[in-house]
Amino acid sequence: MKGISPETIAYACKGGVERVAGWLEDGAMSIALVIDDIQRRHGIHGGTAEIGVHHGKFFILLASLLRDGERGVAVDVFEDQEFNLDLSGNGNQKIFEANLRRHLGDRRQVDILKADSLELSTADVVSRAGHIRIFSVDGCHTRQHTFNDITKASEALASGGVIMVDDIFNTEWRGVLEGTLDALAQTVELAPIITGHNKLVLCRSSDLAMYVQELGEALQRTGIHSPALDAPETTRIGTHEVMTLELPCPGDLLMERVVSLPTGSSVETAINLHSGFSVAESWGVWTDGSEAALTIEVGNIDHCADYRFRVYADAYYSKRSSKGQVANFFVNGDYAGTAYFNEQIARPYRQFSVPGSSLRSGKNEVLVHVERPTSPASEGVSDDPRKLGLALRRIEIYRRLVPDEWYHRRATR
């Protein structure tokens, strides 16, 4: 992902969000980041807004995504709790404003509206921030309020904008799902894109195909593979079958791909195969024997950064063993990781963490130790005498934009 601000990284990835009271899954932030990435690439502009900001836990993330010339609008009843009919939050404007200053500094891109959303007009939002590209609905969770808030959010949407509805399947507040179903039934131009992490993402029906296609491409760019994109689980919402998407924490999304190299014979790449490989084929190459060596040409390496090696490969499984296949990877002499392959578990790739200090700008040596290379001829499967191990298709290298140390620190708190 490119164009992510330092404020977004500090808030979403370096512990800022944990200092704001409220309820928010890491994966919900990741969904917002993926949506923002898609919108940037399609030139979709507009403000960000939220009804029901509480202390700002999600709104601060949305405000951090604002670009030059864009504005945000925060709507909440705050201390006027007589309008909080279902007690779904307990906002405080002073705390909210203090959190904004703490995490975003003196940004004048945000307007605060203290109001019951039933009294809010579309003009109240648009006059302050223009049309909205990401509109979060997390206000009063009654059926009436949810229907009202989604309807007004849809009227304020920018071209290509989305609405993110919170607590869509929370059984404590069934009014959210009921109000959403009412809005979808009466606002035919809205369609659900995905659900996940307690959120439902809606867009205009005319934008649905674009978002569905771009979700897969956006995750590929960031180096994340989601099984939901291969064999999607769906949830029925009204007349719609909606894909469920589970994403990792934002730090795992914020990676920049620096190398993506096929190993097949049809493409000349910066991968050089040395000992232990068979003849390259159009799809890739087999390892032949218990050890295989290759070199990868990489540009300038940031030795202070953390990298991910991603190996796209399958394995040859001996008919005489149920143990699957195991391969150990070494990069420039340092152990990188172990890849396990099993016929019962299909995974598109295996991934290892490699510190920048282990990499070189230029040629990097990769050594693969295969534990159980097997000849098909020895098992009577065919007359192929090669001792097959891994069917290597592609190697990718990603640079993490947020160092691993932040996650180690977070995990040990």
191-223 confidence digits (pLDDT tens): 999 999 999 999 999 999 999 999 877 776 665
Q: Are residues 222 and 149 in the same domain?
A: yes
Contact predicate 31/245, CB 8 Å: yes
Cβ–Cβ under 8 Å, residues 352 and 308: yes
Higher-pLDDT residue of 101 and 251 is 101
Report yes or no on 320 lying in a domain.
yes
The model's confidence at residue 348, banded by pLDDT at 50, 70 and 90, is: confident
Q: CB-side exposure of 355: number of CA atoms within 13 Å?
A: 8
* 3 state DSSP class of 383: coil
Longest dimension (CA), the chain: 80
Identify the domain boundary among 218, 252, 286. Answer: 252
| Cα–Cα distance for residue pair 311/339, rounded to 1 Å | 9
Range of the domain at 306: 255-405
What is the number of domains present in the chain? Answer: 2
413 domain residue, yes or no: no
pLDDT tens for 55-90 read 999 999 999 999 999 999 999 988 765 555 555 556
**How much is the average pLDDT of 148-177?**
95
Q: What pTM did the predictor assign?
A: 0.72
Instruction: For residues 167 and 178, give the distance between their C-alpha atoms in angstroms, rounded to a whole number.
Output: 12
Task: Please check the confidence at residue 300 and state whether its pLDDT lies above 90.
Answer: no
Q: For the chain, what is the mean pLDDT?
A: 86
Residue 190 is assigned to a structural domain of this protein: yes
Looking at the fold, whether 356 and 224 belong to one and the same domain comes out as no
> Is residue 33 located within the same domain as residue 46?
yes
The answer to whether residues 389 and 334 belong to one domain is yes
Residues 198 and 334 placed together within one structural domain of the fold: no
Concatenated DSSP letters of 118-152: GG--HHHHHHHH-SEEEEEE-S--SHHHHHHHHHH
Domain match, 231 and 270 both: no
CB contact set of 59 (below 8 Å; sequence gap of 6+): 48, 50, 53, 72, 74, 136
Nearest one of 308, 349, 307 to 327, comparing CA atoms? 349
Lowest mean pLDDT among 20-24, 130-134, 264-268, 338-342: 264-268
Assigned domain for 358 exists: yes
Residues 220 and 352 in one domain: no
Q: Are residues 138 and 271 in the same domain?
A: no
> 294 and 180, same structural domain?
no
- % of the chain residues with pLDDT over 70: 85
Say whether both 174 and 188 belong to one domain: yes
Torsional class of 126: left (φ above 0), alpha (ψ -120 to 50), beta (otherwise)? alpha
Q: Are residues 17 and 131 in the same domain?
A: yes
**Strand, helix or coil at 138?**
coil
Instruction: Give the Cα separation of 165 and 198 in Å (integer).
Output: 8
* Distance of alpha carbon 112 from alpha carbon 75, whole angstroms: 6
359 and 393 together in one domain:
yes
Residue 412 DSSP symbol: T
